[in-house]
A and B are shown apart, each in its own frame.
Chain A
Amino acid sequence: MSDADVPDGARRSSDAPESATAALVEAARESDLGLVVGTLLAIYAAATLLTFTDGLNSVVGLLETLTFLGLVYALTALALNLQWGYTGLFNIGVAGFMAVGVYTMGMVVRSPDPAFGPPGLGLPLPVGIVAGMATAGLLGAVAALPALRLKADYLAIVTLGLSEIVRLSLQSSTFDNFLRDTIGAGTGGGRGMGMPDNPVRDLFLVDGQAGTPTAFGDLVFGIFGTDGLGIAHPILIGWGYIAVLAGFLVGFYLLLERLGRSPFGRVMKAIREDELVADSLGKDVNLVKIKVFVIGCALMGLAGILWFGSQGNVSPTPQFRPLLTFYVFIAVIIGGSGSNTGSVLGGIVFAAVLFEGPRRVGATVRGLIDAQTPASFADAVASLDPVTFLAYATDNIAPLQFVFLGLVLVFIIHRRPDGILGDRIETAAAVDLSERPAGGDADE
């Protein structure tokens, strides 16, 4: 609670021109970053325990997968938290905005004359990233403009609908052909499109070709790779990409913290609490909502690029179903909506414990069980043998995972509706409010 730490709050209240770094260090100290790091270490420890018998590559590989998923979920959750946690805008079209981001990037960057797949515009990657963010942000504005004039629920319906329109459009070959004819870049329709070369990969390998490392690649592979510690090279490249993701996460976090701890953040919170009050106090509520939507959707577009752009190939249907949106919502809810640190934590916990964890644990458990998998649930129950039942359960972990997710969500909403860190007491001011500076009484 913010009131509780008032006594030690004398810190930076009096020196008016606080340095940016001091403020950020302060923010980090106050915002439970230690909890995030601790959680990550606990997850690493559990993952190591789970796989250490399979050798170093399994351990490092699993850690890499978990970290990657944790970071991309954290990035997306942060973007959603701005809209939903801070401002109360119910955007359930996250998947659509991510798809628009990554597809725009692909279309802008892909070669105009590729060996296979749809043509692109052949522009540099940074241009593609900016274009992807801009398109996602623009689409956000388009979604928000009509919906903001209506009641809040309509925004949810509009965004969900829009997300599906995006997905189905990307899947349509007619739309693909139309784009190829008009702007000279296509989507690849249902088959999707290959993603441009990952610059991080180019950092390690010449031309992205396996086997010919760059000088930097040589150095890293020499220490950690097959010549050193013995870690497979793709895993090392994966960790290189994770470093980039971590950099973006820090950037997202600092940007959103600064935005939240400002007069703009106060207006966002006020809109969440009571729109009419904000309006009656002279705040242009609709304009702020549109801004929040554009910023949030552009960040979702960037998150989509960072996430799916590194996956080799994107295709609309398995990847950008509304399910993805709900996963991100679960991450925000677990972490606690309204808290940026909570969103980071929620993303990591969701990805590792709820999303990837059950599959890995299930697979490990299955490996330990010496039993035939029964053909159906009825057979599993009828066998009256716990081991057989467990074999069935661990073999069908993916569907069971949904049951598990549902239970966790019900539990959290029932027992801890604010999430892990969602106390919603985050300060919405650019200065310390915890105590009154000395000047107050002196001028009387």
Chain B
Amino acid sequence: MSSDAPDPTDGGAPDAVSAADGPDAEPEANDSEVEEAAKHVPSGPPSGDPPLRVEGLVKRFGGVTAVDGASFEVESGSLTGLIGPNGAGKSTTFNCITGVHEPTAGSVYFEGEDITGLRPHRIARQGLVRTFQIARELAEMTVLENLMLAPQGQIGESAVRAVTPGLRGAVVAEETDLRERAWETLEFFEIDHLAHEHAGNLSGGQRKLLEMARALMTDPEMVLLDEPLAGVNPTLEEKLLDRIHELRADGYTFLLVEHDMDIIMENCEHVIVMHQGSVLAEGTGDEIRSDERVIEAYLGEDL
């Protein structure tokens, strides 16, 4: 577990204290599931490098500069929030980090390694996975299949090995394990009753849960959540946040893009504010609330 990691080397960054852990999980109910999920806990970064470091990221689409020199770091084991008004470049930043877009300039480092411009699957294999703003479930596959797709390096993922009679036993054994792990993950997110449902039949909120479950099945170190709560009803919202907090306590690192200011402020120990493609401010929720530039640029008089 690395959530109590000391200060990052970067001097200026304010401490990410777990000031506002908001609505935390009720311990008893989920104990066993937490343990189960904990079996697949991330190993943590090999070195002291922060899991994610973005340096001078620039992305231009034609004449439009969507991201304009954004730089930030995400601490190991933290739940970091990324906010900003519409068009601030949050989603483009996500897309550049995860390889969907190739950055025009700048670098992205994951656990100290340069991952700039790598294709998405290469980045995912390193342990950095994402969910999508609009849930992208694999509609004509069942929920269980969606989850079983995700784990990396399955024996039977190679066409030749999948049909080699001598490897049949190994494939079946691995599939049996994966099936069990998928069931456990579904239980953790409390969507196990939907296991046989086609993913396309799920409600919007259930799809968000499915996406997160699927992302966890890849055994990531860090998960980028692109508006995981958009279009989710309040009950489910709480459930999702509970799960995120539990997983964070297990050592996963999260970067969360969210529109809802209150959610970010209540749940994230560290908040990054983007404005016009670059980082305007970062700090704890309280610091952001009182930051004049932020108030001026984004929050208006509301806070």
Query: CA separation between A272 and B200, bound complex, in Å?
Result: 14
Q: Which residues of A lie under 8 Å from residue B184 when comparing CB positions?
A: 440
Contacts A258-B162, A433-B145: A17 and B121 contacting too (C-beta < 8 A)? Answer: no
Of the candidates B120, B172, B198, B218, the one whose C-beta lies within 8 Å of that of A431 is B172
Q: Are A431 and B156 in contact (CB under 8 A)?
A: no
CB pair B214–A262 under 8 Å, yes or no, is no
**Which of B80-88, B174-182, B239-247, B286-294 forms contacts with chain A?**
B174-182
Within residues 420 to 444 of chain A, which ones have a CB less than 8 A from any CB in chain B? 424-425, 427-431, 433-434, 436-437, 439-440, 444
Measured between alpha carbons, how far is A2 from B132 in the docked complex, in Å? Answer: 29
Determine, out of A109-117, A276-284, A304-312, the stretch whose residues face the partner at the interface: A276-284
A436 surroundings in chain B (CB, below 8 A): 179-180, 183, 195
B62 within 8 A of A: no
The answer on a CB contact under 8 Å between B140 and A273 is: yes
Do residues A430 and B157 form an inter-chain contact, with CB atoms below 8 A?
Answer: no
Interface contact A276-B157, CB-CB below 8 Å: no
| B175 engages A274 (CB within 8 Å) | no
Cα(A430)–Cα(B168), bound, Å = 9
Asked if B139 CB lies within 8 Å of chain A CBs, one says yes
Tell me the interface secondary structure of chain B in the complex. helix
Q: What residues of A have a CB within 8 angstroms of the CB of B115 in the complex?
A: none
| A20 interface hit (Cβ, 8 Å) | yes
The reply on B148 being an interface residue by CB < 8 A is yes
Note all chain B residues with C-beta closer than 8 A to A273: 138-141
Segment touching B, from A46-54, A197-205, A235-243, A263-271: A263-271
The reply on A18 being an interface residue by CB < 8 A is yes
Contact present for A433 and B144 (CB under 8 Å): yes
Q: Does A259 contact B (CB under 8 A)?
A: yes
B173 nearest CB neighbor, chain A only:
A16
Residue of B158, B162, B196 touching A3 (CB-CB under 8 A)? B196
Asked whether, in the complex, the Cβ of A444 is within 8 Å of the Cβ of B32, the reply is: yes
Whether, in the assembled complex, B142 has its beta carbon less than 8 Å from a beta carbon of chain A, the answer is yes
Kindly state the separation between the CA atoms of A280 and B99 in the bound complex, as whole angstroms. 8
Measured CB to CB, the closest approach of chain A to B30, in angstroms, equals 12
For the complex, give the distance between the alpha carbons of A273 and B169 in Å.
Answer: 29
A282 / chain B contacts, CB cutoff of 8 Å: 121, 124-125, 129, 150, 152, 218
Contact across chains for A262 and B171 when beta carbons are under 8 A apart: yes
Beta-carbon contact of A428 and B145 below 8 Å: yes
Question: In the complex, what's the smallest C-beta–C-beta distance from B207 to chain A, in angstroms?
Answer: 12
Given the known A-B contacts A278-B149, A282-B218, A431-B172, are A20 and B138 also in contact in the complex, defined by CB atoms under 8 Å?
no
B211's closest neighbor in chain A, by CB? A277
Q: A155 CA to B162 CA in the complex, in Å? A: 26
Provided the pairs A264-B156, A281-B218 are in contact, do residues A429 and B179 lie with their beta carbons within 8 angstroms? yes
Check: B119 CB closer than 8 A to any chain A CB. yes
**Chain B interface residue count, Cβ-Cβ cutoff 8 angstroms:** 53
Question: What residues of B have a CB within 8 angstroms of the CB of A278 in the complex?
Answer: 121, 149
Closest B residue to A254 by CB, please name it. Answer: B163
Q: Which of A266, A284, A424 contacts B149 (CB 8 A)?
A: A266
Given the known interface contacts A16-B172, A269-B140, the answer about A276 and B180 at a Cβ–Cβ threshold of 8 Å is no
Is A381 on the interface with B (CB-CB < 8 A)?
A: no
Q: Which residue on chain A has the smallest CB distance to residue B119? A: A279
Q: List B contacts of A17 (CB < 8 A).
A: 169, 172-173
B130 within 8 A of A: yes
- Once the chains bind, are A429 and B175 in contact (CB under 8 Å)? yes
Least Cβ–Cβ distance between B4 and chain A, in angstroms: 28
**Closest beta carbon of chain A to B218's beta carbon, Å:** 6
Bound-state CA distance A20–B171 (Å) is 12
Cβ–Cβ contact A264 & B172, under 8 A: no
Check B120 against A269 for contact (C-beta < 8 Å). no
Tell me the residues in window 278-334 of chain A with beta carbons closer than 8 Å to chain B beta carbons.
278-285, 291-292, 295
Are A291 and B159 CB-contacts (below 8 A) given A16-B173, A434-B196?
yes
Q: How far is the CA of A42 from the CA of B32 in the complex (A)?
A: 57
Contact check, B138 vs A430: say whether CB atoms are below 8 A apart. Answer: no
Beta-carbon contact of A269 and B121 below 8 Å: no
- On whether the beta carbons of B171 and A428 are closer than 8 Å, the reply is no
Residue interface mask A1-19, B partner, CB < 8 A = 1 = 0110010000000001110
Q: Among residues 67 to 120 in chain B, which have CB atoms less than 8 Å away from a CB atom of chain A?
A: 98-100, 119-120
Mark A126-150 against chain B: 1 for CB-CB distance below 8 A, else 0. Answer: 0000000000000000000000000
A368 within 8 A of B: no
In the bound assembly, the distance between CA atoms of A272 and B163 in angstroms comes to 21
Seen from chain A, the residues whose Cβ lies within 8 Å of a Cβ on chain B are 2-3, 6, 16-18, 20, 255, 258-259, 262-267, 269-270, 272-274, 276-285, 291-292, 295, 424-425, 427-431, 433-434, 436-437, 439-440, 444
Question: Across chains A and B, which 7 residue pairs bring their CB atoms closest together, nearest first?
Answer: A282-B124, A262-B162, A263-B156, A273-B138, A279-B120, A263-B154, A431-B175
Offer 26 A-B interface pairs, CB within 8 angstroms, sorted by A. Answer: A16-B172, A258-B162, A262-B163, A263-B162, A264-B158, A266-B148, A266-B149, A269-B140, A273-B139, A277-B136, A280-B98, A280-B100, A281-B121, A281-B218, A282-B150, A284-B121, A291-B159, A428-B141, A429-B145, A429-B148, A431-B176, A433-B145, A436-B179, A436-B183, A440-B184, A444-B36
Apart from A269-B140, A281-B214, A429-B148, list 9 A-B contacts with CB within 8 A: A16-B173, A266-B148, A273-B140, A276-B120, A283-B121, A285-B121, A425-B198, A429-B179, A430-B171
